[in-house]
Amino acid sequence: MPVLPFARPRCARTTVTSITLALAATVGPSMLVAQGAAPSAALTPADLLDVRTVSAGDYSPDGKWLVVRIARRSDGLGFVAARDGDPSYTRPAPSRLLLLNTATGDTTVLLTAARTIGAVAWSRGSDRLAIATRDTVPHLLRWDAAARTMRTQALGGARLAENSDLAWTDDGRLLLAVRERTWLPEVRARFDSLVNGPVSVQVGTEPFLAWDVLRRLGNRALVVALTPATARLDTVIPATQLTSWAAAPSGQLITWREDRITRTNYDGAPAAESRWLARRLRDGVRDSVRVLMASMRGVAVFSTADGERYAFSREGAVYVASVSDTTPRRLIGPAPKARGDSARSTDERFTLLGMGPSGDAVVVSSRSGVHLVDVADGRRRTLATIADTLRGPRATLADWSADGRTILLGLASRTDWDRALLRVAVASGVVDTLLRDGRLYGVPRLSPDGARIAVTIGTGGRPADLWLADGAFRAPRRVVESNPQLAARALPTTRLVPYLDADGRTQYGVLTMPPSGATALPTVFSVYEDFFDDVFDATTMYLASRGYAVMKPSVTFETGYPGEAWLKGVTASANKLIDLGIADSSRLGVHGTSYGGYATNLLITQTSRFKAAINISGKVDLVSFYTDSPRLGVRNVNAAEKTQDRIGATMWEQPQKYVQHSAVMFADRIRTPLLLMTGGEDHNVPAINTREMYFALRRLGKPVEWVNYTNGGHGIPMTNVTEFADWHRRLAAWYDRYLTSTPQPPLR
């Protein structure tokens, strides 16, 4: 079977020559490694733009074809951050789509140019593939297997919803979501008014924030049944606040979730305020709508393939029901508490992981492990035992074959890079270990009959490749090598480093070492919250290839005192690397993006151990941030009070906490040279918040630089090649200036 580093414009066997030519035609010679050039240790911004990721999509129902997506980072350039919050705009995330013949290894390229792809759906007979694009104007594409042709499907003048799902029915119709004809003019008018005025008025007594009104328009859609030959559209679900929907293959049952929010919610989790509805469609006659659940808050639901039966978990118990039932049946777990009963139940609690396609079994997890439960009689079979839920392996339901006979489970250690893929025979309960090693596995995909497994596998922090094997994972074959061009680079290596934080708790950090493997290195700490898996991180690889050891440490938070977490965890990880002889204690740097940038700034107000620091799109003033970023609604309020920032109170209840966790209030304590990098169109952490630190440190006579990309958004600017490269050069130059023996002049 061939190794496919890149999609080709025609269906043919791949060769290295054809791949190189296709790549050159796409990215231009300036981004290619010269033929015959000696391997270079240092990655360049051009290398990072050329990095590709591969993912496996759906098998065709007959198992012959596997949808494969290949995305290159450079295709995501051109992002217009100024349109954040506009429901009619989708951030570009283009990919090339190809079909892999699972028997022969031949490929068919579906899209010769990269496009942002949404939902993809196979027809029941595997003869047609529907593809929803999320272009500036969304399109519905249809590939015909017999003719091997792609065409744009007419929709009778309707606009495809940017977030539409797709579902084929047995009679050859395609269900999809479309917009009302008045939708786009209303979206454009509201967005233009909020952004350009000339006068914008917002009233506090109105039920929704103005940007929430606009955001909610993104869910306003109706579901229709398309007859492809005639472009006829028949309404299945009238226009509503549609958050998700699903249809039975017969086309005679459809379920959907409807947003029921009545006002801007300051308590968090607004998306959970929805109800679940169902309707039967018999011979074109629509039954009345039935409410399956009046509230979906705190409920996880899984349905059978025909949509008739479903299971859900609530308060530690798992229930089963059918669309026709009036009362769900408790299958396993504690009984509901009587009103006013505050006693803590000692019964074992369960979380629902999935339901079989025919509804005869469910997979659940508990403190003791992962279990298969028979829906008919409630009998439980343990598939994987976990003796220690804190340090024991994490278990996931990876996939369930369409014929219901085979289950794939994933297991991953919490203390080591020890990962496993298990196959469960549902009928017998026999569990086989297919894979177990230190590599990092993506979500595996089982063919409908369970005879083949497709999975992405990454090693040593490198981009993952796609592998295909039989159902027992015998004779696995790498069918897509995502980045063969990186063979011309001496890439860094990764390792997991355990250490004790200041409170004596075991933490884990992901260390990326330069190819040289030298000791007493200049060492950079990339901070956020927790790190464990060695996923590919382009910026980390970029710095490590330039001779830096890069550590991504983990921290433990305490509500009300988030600022202490990084001081206790990051500095402890530095001590560990110094003890190991890896880090040079006189050459330590630290940076982070978003919450990590915020962490970086707080950290250097508490210690002067770091000789250089970089805050990338991170807030510095929690007070002014608290109610800012209007395009995100109340996200920043909830983040401060309850979620990521973990203050644990409103600003009016604990104003001192907001002051204590605003780095700008303690700018006079900073001794570390600080680089601030922002995007002028960042509507997550506005640049005006981060810039407060620049003016404070300038006033105090501290070493500080502020780089603002006027049209950039949150994090690395994805506006164009020039700004992307400039960002990376400045990141490296800042550390080179302060952590290497050769002083570097400031970049201008």
Residue 53 has pLDDT above 90, yes or no: yes
Give the residue among 637, 656, 634 at the shortest CA–CA distance from 645. 637
| pLDDT tens-place string over residues 286-295 | 778 999 999 9
Residue 305 has pLDDT above 80, yes or no: yes
Q: Which residues contact 498 (CB under 8 A, 6 or more apart)?
A: 415, 506, 507, 508
- The predicted pLDDT at position 195 comes to 95
- The predicted pLDDT at position 287 comes to 79
Cβ neighbours of 740 (radius 10 Å) = 14
Q: Which of 21-35, 195-209, 339-353 is predicted least confidently?
A: 21-35
Crossing angle of helices 595-604 and 562-579, rounded to 10°: 80
Q: Which of 163-172, 260-269, 344-353, 513-522 is predicted least confidently?
A: 260-269
More confident residue, 1 or 195: 195
| pLDDT tens-place string over residues 527-538 | 999 999 999 999
Residue 20 has pLDDT above 90, yes or no: no
- The predicted pLDDT at position 28 comes to 30
Ordered by start, the domain boundaries in the chain are: 492-739
- What is the average per-residue pLDDT within 350-358? 95
- What is the average per-residue pLDDT within 308-326? 94
| pLDDT tens-place string over residues 467-519 | 999 999 998 999 999 999 998 888 999 999 999 999 999 999 999 999 988 89
pLDDT category, 334, cuts 50, 70, 90? very high
| pLDDT tens-place string over residues 590-599 | 999 999 999 9
For domain 492-739, say whether CATH 3.40.50.1820 is its number.
Answer: yes
- What is the average per-residue pLDDT within 213-242? 95
540: helix, strand or coil: helix
- The predicted pLDDT at position 1 comes to 29
Residue 11 has pLDDT above 50, yes or no: no
Residue 271 has pLDDT above 70, yes or no: no
More confident residue, 123 or 639: 123
Residues 287 and 277 sit within 8 Å (Cβ to Cβ) = no
pLDDT category, 384, cuts 50, 70, 90? confident
Distances from the Cα of 235 to the Cα of 166, 175, 281, angstroms: 14, 9, 11
More confident residue, 283 or 139: 139
- The predicted pLDDT at position 208 comes to 92
- The predicted pLDDT at position 321 comes to 96
pLDDT category, 40, cuts 50, 70, 90? low
pLDDT category, 285, cuts 50, 70, 90? low
Residue 354 has pLDDT above 80, yes or no: yes
The CA distance from 499 to 505, in Å, is 8
**Mean pLDDT score across all residues of the chain:** 89
Residues 273 and 194 sit within 8 Å (Cβ to Cβ) = no
116: helix, strand or coil: strand
| DSSP code per residue over 471-508 | TT--S-EEEE-S-GGGGGB---EEEEEEEE-TTS-EEE
- What is the average per-residue pLDDT within 35-45? 66
- The predicted pLDDT at position 273 comes to 82
- The predicted pLDDT at position 643 comes to 86
| pLDDT tens-place string over residues 163-202 | 999 999 999 999 999 999 999 999 999 999 999 999 999 9
- The predicted pLDDT at position 355 comes to 97
- The predicted pLDDT at position 563 comes to 87
Residue 342 has pLDDT above 80, yes or no: no
Give the residue among 590, 598, 613 at the shortest CA–CA distance from 523. 590
Residue 523 has pLDDT above 80, yes or no: yes
Residue 367 has pLDDT above 70, yes or no: yes
Residue 9 has pLDDT above 70, yes or no: no
Q: Which two tokens stand for residue 408?
A: 């794939």
The CA distance from 551 to 542, in Å, is 13
